Amino acid sequence: MGYLFTSESVSEGHPDKVSDQISDALLDALLAYDPNSKVAIETMVTTGQVVVAGEVKTNTYIDVQKRTRDVINRIGYTKSEYKFDGDSCGILSAIHEQSDDINRGVDREDRKNQGAGDQGMMFGYASTDTDEFMPLSLEISHKLLIELAAIRREGKEMTYLRPDSKSQVTIEYDEDTHQPVRIHTMVLSTQHDDFDEDEAMLNKIREDVKNILLPRTIATLPARVQSLFDENLILHVNPTGKFVIGGPHGDTGLTGRKIIVDTYGGKGAHGGGAFSGKDPSKVDRSAAYASRHIAKNLVAAGVAEEVLVQLSYAIGVAEPINIFVNTYGRSKVALSDNEIANKVSEIFDLRPYAIEERLKLRNPIYEESAAYGHMGRKPQIVKKQFSSPYAGGKEIEVELFTWEKLDYVDKIKEAFNI
């Protein structure tokens, strides 16, 4: 008998994720015109209303209203019947200047020695579960909702879909090898248009999830994962029966309330700090990306089959207080976890400025990370368009998800004699 592990995901139309995407879209706009911007933006969304608040230090100006409405419309909240739509919702901006008390601990004459923007501990995790070195339960949860959103946007099938949805996947693991054995249970809840008959509606959605969404999602998975699906799969679709009222009208959304969805679906650990709306001087974000980068490259290099990396910082101090590594007894090198951590400190410069430079974090790369997870994504180079009432239009080529690159594998192999 194996053991079961579960992860969940939420769609881009989930109210908390709407908030995350607005916060990161505003951050991107600020970084596009002033890469040295210091930003901590929080967003709340509810019926017909958006409240944007936070602290910003910048030399530019952005149109908060337009940027916010563009995000809401892109997600799909474009109809008044949703009680929340991009063209008509009210938007209140309560953004003010960053505290000088915080800024004095960050800025340095020598930028290489800039201090951390806050205290805290950040975790990175990786395993051989998937080709992306992510927990399988979370990867499938994300892909279900990515495919559901694609179906909604295509508008050819499941035409009743609305933007808000959630998924949950339970995987059975072998107790000895810790390898996935089968997909045990899947839960899918999707917001939808109103139907004349509730029972007919539920049956229709169940059939469409089983016959349209599942085959499309499974087709995106590698063969070794496809083989884990069998006839014993337990599938729950809209378990409450009806999900017409959703999005910010159904639940108030807040930035930073889906941090486990953002990272590893409950595997490994999480320090507690959210990502969205924060510039990379905040180690809540940059050090979380750095620790993922380390963990992924360690596993890919063959140091261990599973790795957890912890970094911790003090506000205003450049060097991390500690580097902790846990290989869960699955190390493949003749070194203790503490010895592995010591080698990590020799390979990676983990001062905040060094992390920003190595991972190119002063670029407008964050809106894309604010839905379907910050980790396990595909690094890619894209061109992004920005506009400012004062600085005009701007096109910037940026590299997304740099912390997912396997660019330190050779250095790690050399350091560990692999």
User: Quick one: pLDDT at residue 390?
Assistant: 83
Please indicate, yes or no, whether residues 224 and 293 belong to a single structural domain of this protein.
no
For residue 267, what are its two tokens?
């595997």
Please tell me the distance from the alpha carbon of residue 156 to that of residue 174, in angstroms, as a whole number. 40
Say whether both 287 and 230 belong to one domain: no
Q: Domain check: are 190 and 301 in the same one?
A: no
Burial class, 129, CB count within 10 angstroms (exposed 0-12 / middle 13-18 / buried 19+): buried
Instruction: State residue 338's pLDDT score.
Output: 97
Note whether 188 and 288 are same-domain residues: no
Per-residue pLDDT of the chain (418 residues; tens, 9 = 90+): 689 999 999 999 999 999 999 999 999 999 999 999 999 999 999 999 999 999 999 999 999 999 999 999 999 999 999 999 999 999 999 999 875 555 555 555 556 667 777 788 999 999 999 999 999 999 999 999 999 999 999 999 999 999 999 999 999 999 988 889 999 999 999 999 998 888 888 999 999 999 999 999 999 999 999 999 999 999 999 998 888 889 999 999 999 999 999 999 999 999 989 999 999 999 999 999 999 999 999 999 999 999 999 999 998 888 899 999 999 999 999 999 999 999 999 999 999 999 999 999 999 999 999 999 999 999 999 999 998 888 889 999 999 999 999 999 999 999 999 8
What lies within 8 Å, CB to CB, of 356 at 6+ separation is: 280, 281, 286, 362
Are 344 and 225 within one domain?
no
Which residue range forms the structural domain that includes residue 285? 120-127+268-273+280-416
8 A C-beta contact, residue 41 and residue 95: yes
Residue 291: give its domain's CATH number. Answer: 3.30.300.10
CA dihedral over 135, 173, 266, 213, signed as positive or negative: positive
326 within 8 A of 307, measured Cβ to Cβ: yes
Does 293 share its domain with 386? yes
Q: What is the pLDDT of residue 335?
A: 96
* 252 lies in some domain: no
Task: Mark whether 372 and 325 lie in a shared domain.
Answer: yes
Residue 114, domain member (yes or no)? no
Q: What is the pLDDT of residue 100?
A: 59
Domain match, 217 and 322 both: no
Determine which helix (DSSP H) or strand (DSSP E) holds 354, and give its type and residue range.
Answer: helix 352-359
User: Contact, 122 vs 273, CB < 8 A?
Assistant: yes
> Whole-angstrom Cα distance, residue 57 to residue 41?
11
154 falls within a domain: yes
Type of residue found at 357: E
Q: Give domain status of residue 306, yes or no.
A: yes
* Rounded to 5°, angle at Cα 192 from 188 and 197: 105
Tell me, yes or no, whether 165 lies in a domain: yes
Could you report how far apart the first and last alpha carbons of the chain are, in Å? 34
Contact 75, 13 (CB under 8 A): yes
Q: What's the pLDDT at 392?
A: 87
Query: Do both 241 and 292 map to the same domain?
Result: no
- The number of domains in the chain is 2
Residue 61 lies in a domain: no
Helix (H) or strand (E) holding 38: strand 38-46
104 within a domain of the structure (yes/no) = no
Q: Is residue 359 part of a domain?
A: yes
Rounded to whole angstroms, the Cα distance separating 354 from 340 reads 21
Q: Is 220 exposed, middle or buried (0-12, 13-18, 19+ CB in 10 A)?
A: middle
